[in-house]
Amino acid sequence: MALKNLFSATLLMLLGLSFAASVLASDGYYNPNPNSNLQKPADVEKERLLSKLIGVQGIIYCRAGNKITPLEGAVARITCEGVDEYGYETESLSILSCATDAKGYFIATLSPHEVKHTKLNRRFKQCKAFLEASPSDDCDLPTDVNKGISGAPIASYRLLPDKNMKLFTVGPFFFIPQQDTNSVSPDGY
C-alpha cells in the first residue's frame, strides 16, 4: 500500500512539473494548444489602447475689426506635460493639428499606444491647446481670446463610440491683422 501511495505521489508530482514547465515555456501564460491563436493579455491590452483615440478639435478665425471669417490653413498645437512613474516631470509632448479647412475647423488626434511607447512609464497630464501658425500675412497675430496664447486647458470630453475616440473641444481661437493690435485689450477681447 505504501508503494502504491508513493507511486501516486510521484505521478502527481511529475504531472505538476510537466504543467509548470509548459506554462513557463509559454511566457507564463497557459495555452493548452500552443498552435492556437489565443491572445495573451498583453496583446489584448495593446489592442484596447489602439482602439482609444484622443481627439482635440476647435475653430480658428481671423478677426479684422468687426468682421470674423474662418481662417483656412491655420494650425493649432497641443502640448501635454510629461510625468514619470514616480510623478516627476519629464519632457513634454507637443503635436500639431492638421491645417484648418475652409470653415476654420481643426482636429489633432493621438493614439495612447503611440504615446505609451515614446518613453517607458511616462504619462501625460495637463494638456493645453495653443494657436501655432496662420497661413495669412494679413491676419497672423495670435490673440489670447479663449487662451489661444496662454493655452486652453483640455479637460472635458465627449465619447464618440463609433470612432472609439475621446473628443475634446477648445476655442474658438482668433488671429488678427497687425494694424488691429491697438484695438485688442490685454485679455484678448
- The C-alpha cell 513634454 sits at 92
CB 131 within 8 A of CB 60: yes
Is 44-175 a domain of CATH 3.30.565?
Answer: no
User: So where are the chain's domains?
Assistant: 44-175
Query: pTM, whole model, 2 decimals?
Result: 0.66
pLDDT at 179: 82
Position 2 scores a pLDDT of 52
What is the CB-side half-sphere exposure of residue 75 using CA atoms within 13 A? Answer: 10
Prior bond of 142 cis (ω within 30°):
no
Q: Mean pLDDT of successive 10-residue segments in the chain (189 residues)?
A: 49 43 41 47 43 86 96 95 82 91 94 59 81 95 96 91 90 91 54
Residue 86: per-residue pLDDT: 83
- CA dist 32 and 27 (Å) reads 13
Contacts of 181 (CB under 8 A, 6+ apart): 141
